[in-house]
Structure 1
Amino acid sequence: MYVAVKGGERAIEASWRALDEARRGDPRVPELSVAQIRGQLRLAVARVMTEGSVYDEELAALAIKQAAGDLVEAIFLLRAYRTTLPRFGYTQPVDTERMHVERRISATFKDVPGGQVLGPTYDYTQRLLDFALLAERGDAADEVASTSAPDARTQPEPMPRVVALLDKEGLIEQETPTPDAPEPGDLSREPLSFPADRPTRLQNLARGDEGFLLSMGYATQRGYAHTHPFAGEIRFGTVAVEMELDELGEAVEIGEIELTECQMINQFAGSKALPPTFTQGYGLAFGHAERKAMAMALVDRALRADELGETLASPTQDIEFMLSHSDNVEASGFVQHLKLPHYVDFQSELELVRRLRAEHRANALDGEAA
């Protein structure tokens, strides 16, 4: 039930206090720390970093705590903070082929160079509630578990891309950068405009809401696009970030970040300009975010319909529709603004409906009299 809020500033301040109390919860229960969120809710942290466009696990965890677990609100908080940060420059494109892989699978080839690495995944769990997690373990048990666990970062040999197997036969498209190609725009600093090229679309999709992209990716699989996808390769791991420093005249490594990358392979029957081949959809996200990267790759491929000469017959192929509605910060703000007072607007519509109903009754009476 909505109650008209009176009191202005005092009422708002009281609401803030109530929010703090609601966020804290039962004071008899130990408070959840940012470090715990960062370490144990890593998948939520990855989503907030990706859609908030800031790679900082601590800040993402802080936003999740402040938002009481509302990830869309946390994304909003992190993106708002991002606008206050100075920009020192741009890093070099990361080389995901040199990724220190923790998980790497392919659904197209069983035997791939470097092998399949299952790593941490829910794919093979039974999706049954584990009530053992209700029992709190002590620090000693955690220490034993951490010291006995194998090093997941061990990588015995290089892992070239799976699509290279198809490329040997010339069966898959390869993107070759052209010297005169324009520099990609920066969607975090420039407003979205149309027509949007693929670099802009990929930026938009990376920041896009995971739920929206998942639904749209699902729609492409159900026939609302001309695609027949295969997960060519999904890899998760750590990549080096390099930045070119003018003082040194060369690029130096400034850190490492965790990324999830997906290359989706799609059959393409060909067109007047292109022979039958396999085409690609691409997805990339911060942290361990396979579902987001896969959905992004599915949508990316669907949005290439016009480029590949396919018939545009679905909203999933409509660039303006997809990009304009994928951002959860924009969507959340537009939907939630309906909670704000609209008294004047509604009164005008109320008077309009009353007048129209009166005219309708008058016309009905005139019709009966005739």
Structure 2
Amino acid sequence: MYVAVKGGERAIEASWRLLDEARRGDTRVPELSVAQIREQLRLAVARVMAEGSVYDEELAALAIKQAAGDLVEAIFLLRAYRTTLPRFGYTQPVETENMVVERRISATFKDVPGGQVLGATYDYTQRLLDFALLAEGDDAASATRETPRATPPEEAMPRVVSLLDKEGLIEQETRSSQAREPGDLSREPLAFPADRTVRLQNLARGDEGFLLAMGYATQRGYAHSHPFAGEIRFGSVCVEMMLDELDEPVEIGEIDLTECQMINQFAGAKDVPPQFTQGYGLAFGHAERKAMAMALVDRALRAEELGETIASPTQDIEFMLSHSDNVEASGFVQHLKLPHYVDFQAELELVRKLRARHENDTDADADADTQNKEAA
């Protein structure tokens, strides 16, 4: 047993060395720096921060480098590091309506207060490989190229849903729901039934691919909803925190957020007139696809609350929340790579016994058939 353990240790240490070599790649190629990843792979950094539940671009870029671009592994690394950090307290709710907007669009109204701001987006690009990028990398050429900077609009940008609110056409949150103390999924295990604050936390750090697929399913009829993108906005917001020494909140920094408010049809219910309902999505960094998918799923999970029939997995709170976390999913799937020798040998022995019994029963049936034919 001791020899087996020592042999396993040496194999694992050798695997670590090979992993470092595989991550580095050809040493004749300049090594990718953390700063390059942070600045040039910003969308990947945003996803790792959101699903890793840590807003730190440098740490997210480091995790991506260490994981050789495997974003799920990078999310796992960042989530694990998060558990070692001390908690100083809770910040005040961020005011996304006061966001310094870099991008803001609405698919429901053409003319909105503050206007539509396209910003940086792939929405209007041709999905063709740009082979000119293969020639980039010349520092001298890059230094002469000016990068346009987004200019924050001067006009205030109230939310688009406020236009519907003026006519009473969209649901309103009650005072009791706003005053309720939200749960903290990072400190308390997921339990059911989960209220909306916990669901939104779960979805915010849920796997983007899973949420995208489930959001797509809601659009294909696996939910009672007909969505419109009321507003999608991306920009920076101030983060404030109450300090014991002061009676007013103090700004401690800024973070980039993507927010999506999805507007859905709703026929109404008992004592509730027909109106629009909302699905909500919020993610760190520039993550429109994640925020939109989150908003679609959030609305689907409100089926019971809105008196709708629960007929699809996208409306099943336990199913959706239990399977959205890629850290848990990855761990449970990949644990199958670990040794299961004892379990498999037990299964193997059981199958051998069942086969032997089956063969004996088959032989006995064959002998009985032969005897019956001879007697006939």
Q: Give the TM-score band, short-chain normalised.
A: over 0.9
Determine the structure 2 residue equivalent to 1:244.
Answer: 242
Distance (Å, rounded) in 1 between the aligned partners of 2:110 and 2:100: 21
1:177 aligned to 2:175? yes
**CA–CA distance in structure 1, aligned partners of residues 138 and 96 of structure 2:** 38
Matches within 5 A, 1:38-117: 38-117=38-117
Partner amino acid, structure 1, of 2:172: Q
**Which residues in structure 2 correspond to 1:1-370 (within 5 Å)?**
7-145=7-145, 148-178=146-176, 181-370=179-368
* CA 1:19–1:5: 2 relative to 1, 3 Å: farther
> CA 1:174/1:142 → structure 2, altered by over 3 Å: closer, same or farther?
farther
| Inter-partner Cα distance in structure 2 for 1:324 and 1:191 | 11
**CA distance in 1: counterparts of 2:121 and 2:178, whole angstroms:** 42
Q: d(CA) in 2 for partners of 1:205 and 1:156?
A: 33
C-alpha deviation, 1:180, in angstroms: 8.6
Report the Cα distance in structure 1 between the residues aligned to 2:256 and 2:24, rounded to whole angstroms: 30
How far did residue 368 of structure 1 move? 2.1
Per-residue deviation, 1:367: 1.9
1:121 & 1:97 partners in 2: Cα distance?
A: 21
Give RMSD over aligned pairs: 1.4
Count of matched residue pairs? 365
Q: Distance in 1 between matches of 2:60 and 2:151?
A: 23
- Is the partner of 1:316 in helix, strand or coil? helix
Distance 1:342 1:6 in 2: 19
> In the alignment, residue 176 of structure 2 is paired with which amino acid?
T
8 Å CA contact 2:38–2:58 kept in 1: the answer is yes
CA distance in 2, matches of 1:273, 1:317: 23
Task: Report Cα offsets for 1:195-226 as digits up to 9, x if no partner.
Answer: 10000000000010000000000000000000
Q: Which protein is bigger by CA-based radius of gyration? A: 2
Q: Measure how far apart 1:5 and its partner are.
A: 10
**What residue number does 2:371 align with?**
none
Give the alignment's TM-score, normalised by structure 1.
0.96
Preserved CA contact (<8 Å) 1:5 1:11: no
2:259 & 2:313 partners in 1: Cα distance? 25
Cα distance in 2 for partners of 1:200, 1:112 equals 32
Give the drift of 1:181.
3.9
SS of the aligned residue for 2:182 comes to: coil
Distance in 2 (alpha carbons) for counterparts of 1:336 and 1:211: 18
What letter is aligned with 1:196? A
Identity of aligned pairs, percent? 84
Contact in 2 for aligned 1:97/1:159 (Cα 8 Å): yes
Note the C-alpha offset of 1:7: 1.2
CA contact (8 A) 1:100 1:153 kept: no
Query: Any conservation in 2 of the 1:233–1:262 contact (CA below 8 Å)?
Result: yes
Q: CA deviation at 1:6?
A: 8.0
Between 303-312 and 183-192, report the one with greater CA deviation. 183-192
The answer to which of 9-18 and 167-176 deviates more is: 167-176
- Provide the C-alpha distance between the structure 2 equivalents of 1:44 and 1:294, rounded to a whole number of angstroms: 17
Q: Distance in 1 between matches of 2:177 and 2:318?
A: 28
Q: Secondary structure at the match of 1:268?
A: coil
- In structure 1, C-alpha distance between the alignment counterparts of 2:103 and 2:299, rounded to whole Å: 24
Asked whether the 8 Å contact 1:303–1:317 carries over to 2, the reply is yes
- State the alpha-carbon separation in 2 of the partners of residues 225 and 151 from structure 1: 41
Tell me the CA shift for residue 243 of structure 1.
Answer: 0.4
TM-score relative to the length of structure 2: 0.95
Structure 1 distance, partners of 2:272, 2:158, is 27
CA distance in 2, matches of 1:129, 1:260: 27
Instruction: State whether residues 262 and 282 of structure 1, in contact with CA within 8 Å, keep that contact through their aligned partners in structure 2.
Output: yes
Q: Is the 8 A contact 2:114 2:153 kept in 1?
A: no
3-state DSSP of counterpart to 2:339? coil
Q: Is the 8 A contact 2:35 2:61 kept in 1?
A: yes
AA aligned to 1:31 is E
CA distance in 1 between counterparts of 2:27 and 2:147 reads 34
Which stretches in structure 1 are left out of the alignment for 5+ residues?
A: none
**In structure 2, distance between residues paired with 1:181 and 1:319:** 23
Stretches of structure 2 that go unaligned for 5 or more consecutive residues are 369-376
Equivalent position amino acid for 1:90 in 2: Y
For 1:48-96, what per-residue CA distance to the aligned partner results, in whole angstroms no more than 9, with x for missing partners?
0000000000000000000000000000000000000000000000000
Q: 1:227 to 1:5 in 2, by over 3 A?
A: farther
Cα deviation 1:258-294 (Å, max 9, x = unaligned): 0000000000111224221100000000000000000
